[in-house]
Homo-oligomer: A and B are copies of this chain.
């Protein structure tokens, strides 16, 4: 099942375990003749690796991406773009103590139950590190979108005091606010490939995401129709909405206004405090997860949110072109 692929026309397939040999991906459907801005890709990877401000990542990842195919002399060929990042700073021994333990709210138990086997080192395929290829593909998608004037941005909020949480060995959640601007009217395919449906699916692929809403989102559930409707007006020969409760999408199709959405992240489940759980035999054990872990995933997650929003937008842009 191509469950490790996303997108139909701009398709990313990812691979890799956290402490395996490499993490990477293959992009199929990138148009030819794009001059790749490698610095821009590296800049996005750096945003992912470090977050922003004082929430610096604690795993030293140089994350130097190697392109294996699909780009010749800096220009895309129209053929698959394969790339990888070697896992240099892997310290699998950090995880030895945990190898038979199901960490609370991690994927250890479900992977073991599903596959009957798992790579116990650092979360294996379930590690947040596996989002790295998404950032690469997103950076390329952004460059293609830029040719159409489309931009993807994000901001975020963290719920609580980071330093206080770190001292307590605890972690924090938060939200990422996404925005796609200059979107042409007409992106999104009813019935089951609505723009918001593909966007939501993409966001829920990010580890730790618990909620997604667009436009007024959950708040709209508490409104009256007379409060949540967007009236149309005509300005300079183009139809707009006066307000943007709809979040730029109506009937699954973009209406030309800003697409705005919000993604909720739960706190990272790796706590530096004692927790009760069980081992693979079902025996109760007590653990305290040492090692290098962020206090909050949100700053690093923002770039992944942007990447997936860019990929989703590009996907629908290509689909529109197909039928014209």
Chain A residues within CB distance 8 Å of chain B: 1-6, 8-9, 11, 13-17, 20-24, 26, 28-29, 31-33, 66-70, 72, 75, 77-82, 84, 102, 104-107, 109-111, 113-119, 124-126, 130, 159-160, 165, 168, 170-175, 185-186, 188-194, 196-205, 207, 209-218, 220-234, 237-239, 241, 245-247, 250-256, 264-271, 273, 275-278, 282-284, 318-324
Contacts and interface: CB of A to CB of B under 8 A. Distances in A.
Given A8-B1, A186-B110, A226-B271, A77 B17 contact: yes
A252 B224 CA distance: 35
Contact of A224 (B170, B229, B238): B170
A220 B230 contact: no
26 contacts: A2-B8, A3-B192, A4-B80, A4-B192, A9-B323, A13-B13, A13-B28, A13-B80, A15-B69, A17-B70, A24-B82, A77-B119, A77-B125, A159-B222, A168-B226, A170-B226, A171-B224, A173-B223, A200-B203, A210-B216, A210-B218, A225-B269, A225-B271, A227-B267, A229-B271, A319-B322
Q: What copy number does this chain have within its complex?
A: 4
A268 B273 CA distance: 48
B126 A251 contact: yes
Given A109-B250, A197-B204, A251-B110, A322 B1 contact: yes
